Amino acid sequence: MWFNASGVFGKGRFVSNVLGRGMGVDTRLSEHYTFLWFLFSKIRCLREVEMTAFFAIVKLTCRSLVRSRVFQLLLATLAGTIIFLPLTVVGDGTALAHIQVSLKYSLGAVGMILSASIVWVGCSIMGDDVASRQLHMVVSKPVSKPLVWLAKWTGVVVSHGFLLLLSAGMVYVLVLWRFERSSFSDKEKKRIRHEVLTGRRVFLPKRPDLDEIAAKELDRRLSRLPPERRKSTPEQRCEMLWQVRKEVVASLGAVPPGRVRSWEYSGLTFGEKSPLYLRYRAYVGKVDSNGQRETRGMWLARVNIVAKGDGAGKDKGSARGGAAGKVRTLFSPRTNYPEVIPCGVFVEITMNPNVISKDGSVEVRFVNYDPQGKQLFFQPKDGPKLLVEEIGFISNYLRAVLVLFAKLAFLAGVACAAGGIMSTPVAIFGVVSYILAGSFSAYLIGVENWIVESSGIPGKQTLVEVVGNSLSKVLLLFIMPIQNFEVSGLLAKGELIEWGLIGQVVFFDAVVRGVPLMLLGMWLYSRRELGLAAKK
């Protein structure tokens, strides 16, 4: 029995007698309290039974996975990947690249292996229970099918979460061991600590209004034409704006020889004590990895100087001239002479935090002194961008592991939902198709954004591209792009994995898209006919 009927009714009668005699309540009304007490006790007993069954199924699921040969093979594969993969992948030969490869590829491989495993296990553990008729014995007990589904999903997530923690701990220990036991110089180790083994917030430069710049440039060009040639149809003006905007985008990252290019940043903290790091990659001649060489240039930063003059204003050309306390804006060069700048590779320079203005802005300038008179190019994705150290490496590393765990939980939900209503091979095919559809949809949207970024006119696409992009946008409302969980690249570059990114990935991506699929899978699993499996 789930409850002791005599005990329940005995307590209920005791309560009703107390209420009826002590408080002057009608005896018929006190009988309702007996019934309510009976319902409450039954619900409490049912909840205790369901929770006991829930944890029992979770325990059995984890135990069966640990005892399986697949789990042991998976553990050995993870250990081999973590240990031997960094030895086979070669970077550019520097100590910095060695640590970045060890961190990025090892953690990325762990996420990929565990993702493939959790898809296979989630699909098979649900479908095999029906095929082997083990579910028939479970549902004969006072346990609902949705509770069985939820318990198996929890068991799959817990077991793979344990593997993730074990693998992530091994990667962390091996990376630090290689760093400490290596023969790197003190200069290289210092650079690794500041560029990789840290968590730095990234600040991107302000982006100008490209549409406004293109419109002004087009009007300027049209003003030079005769009046009869200035007239154009809306389609012709749209075409001309598209061409001008392409030229504007290309010119924004170009620095002609002897010319100056400036970037402005906002959102920094005035009075920051940690140094600033300016990260960039320049190209000489053209944006191509081939044929790059060293060039020369000079970096300048805006500083505010408070005048200490006598207020007479006689010598306005010096810092002491003018009214006392007046703030003057100057651009201070980083070096006295043009410095050597390698092109085609990322470069980081350290800046004093006193360049941050009171409004939290920073402005830097670059002067091109190329000895051959070639033009330099800076792509938006390659910087220059400012980085400020905010947290330590262990905190940033734990955030990356949290994102990977959210990815595994999401994939487990999709796999269990498919495995609960389909056979194992069909379920695996469905989940893989779901992942590929999300990845390709996000890729198509990225291509469309790149076209709009470079041209500014989405209508320049063909009909097939428009239909494909529209369909991709609809699919992304329901399908989760799995690449959104990839943060090992940020970790390897020492960039901060911000809580905003974690919240977006965990809640808006995994929860908003994953929970409806899980609920749908639980409902279809509870509606599945077990008699069909019994007849086979």
Question: Number of folded domains in the chain?
Answer: 2
Q: Do 413 and 528 reside in the same domain of the chain?
A: yes
Q: How far apart are CA 107 and CA 172, in angstroms?
A: 9
C-alpha span between 367 and 333 (Å, rounded): 10
pLDDT 10s per residue in the chain (536 long)?
A: 333 434 444 444 444 444 444 444 444 445 555 655 545 554 555 566 667 777 888 888 888 888 877 778 888 888 888 888 777 766 666 777 778 888 888 888 899 999 989 999 888 887 666 555 555 555 555 567 788 888 889 999 999 999 999 999 999 998 888 888 877 788 888 888 888 889 999 999 988 777 788 888 888 888 888 877 777 777 777 778 877 877 777 777 889 999 999 999 999 988 888 889 999 999 998 877 777 889 999 999 998 776 665 554 444 444 444 555 576 788 888 888 899 999 988 888 999 898 999 889 999 999 999 999 999 988 878 879 999 999 999 999 999 999 999 999 999 999 988 888 888 888 889 898 888 877 776 665 554 444 444 444 444 555 555 665 666 666 666 777 777 888 888 898 889 999 988 988 888 777 888 888 888 888 888 776 655 444 44
Residue after which a domain boundary falls, among 390, 408, 426? 390
Asked if residue 451 lies in contact with residue 246, where contact means CB atoms within 8 angstroms, the answer is no
Among 352, 375, 390, residue at a domain's last position: 390
Same domain, residue pair 361 and 409:
no
The pLDDT value given to residue 481: 76
In a domain, 20, yes or no: no
CB atoms within 10 A of CB 182: 14
Q: Tell me, yes or no, whether 427 and 514 share the same domain.
A: yes
Which pTM was predicted?
A: 0.78
Residues 421 and 382 in one domain: no
Closest C-alpha among 37, 91, 120 to residue 431: 120
Q: Give CA–CA dist 297/335, Å, rounded.
A: 10
Q: Please give the pLDDT value at position 473.
A: 66
Question: Among 279, 268, 217, 224, which residue's Cα sits nearest to residue 246?
Answer: 217
Q: Produce one character per residue of 190-226: b if its CB has 16 or more CB atoms within 10 Å, e if not.
A: ebbebbbbbbbbbbebeeeeeeebbeebbeeeeeeee
Q: How many CB atoms lie within 10 A of CB 302?
A: 18
350, 371, 390 - which closes a domain: 390
Please state whether the peptide bond connecting residue 516 to the residue before it is cis, i.e. omega within 30 degrees of 0: no
Q: Are residues 462 and 522 in the same domain?
A: yes
Is 371 in a helix, a strand, or coil?
A: coil
* Same domain? 348 vs 444: no
Instruction: Tell me the chain's radius of gyration from C-alpha atoms.
Output: 33
Q: Please give the Cα distance from 410 to 431 (Å, whole number).
A: 12
**Residue 207 falls within a domain, yes or no?**
no
Chain-centre distance for alpha carbon 244: 34
Residue 233 counted as domain residue:
no
54 domain-assigned: no
DSSP conformation class of 286:
S
Q: Evaluate the CA torsion angle 506, 511, 517, 522 in order and state its sign.
A: positive
What is the reported pLDDT for 460? 52
What is the C-alpha end-to-end distance of the chain, expressed in Å? 34
The answer to whether position 46 is within a domain reads no
Whether residues 340 and 317 fall in one domain: yes
Residue range(s) defining the domain that contains residue 514: 68-198+392-535
| 351/461 same-domain check | no
- Residue 260 CA to residue 300 CA, distance in Å, equals 10
- Residues 156, 409: Cα–Cα separation, whole Å: 9
Same domain, yes or no, for 180 and 77?
yes
Residue type, 305: I
How many C-alpha atoms does 245 have within 13 Å on its Cβ side?
A: 20
- The residue among 194, 227, 165 whose CA lies nearest residue 401 is 165
Q: CA-CA distances (angstroms) from residue 176 to 55, 188, 394?
A: 38, 14, 11
Instruction: In whole angstroms, give the CA distance from residue 503 to residue 508.
Output: 7
In terms of domains, do 263 and 139 share one?
A: no
Helix 69-88 vs helix 145-181: crossing angle, to nearest 10: 30
Which has the closest alpha carbon to 384: 462, 487, 441, 300?
Answer: 300
Amino acid at 293: R
Q: How far apart are CA 236 and CA 256, in angstroms?
A: 31
Q: Is residue 337 part of a domain?
A: yes
What CATH number does residue 351 fall under?
2.60.120
What's the burial of 156, exposed, middle or buried (CB within 10 Å: 0-12/13-18/19+)? buried
**CA dihedral defined by 410, 416, 419, 420, rounded to 10 degrees?**
-140
**Token representation of residue 347:** 């470069």
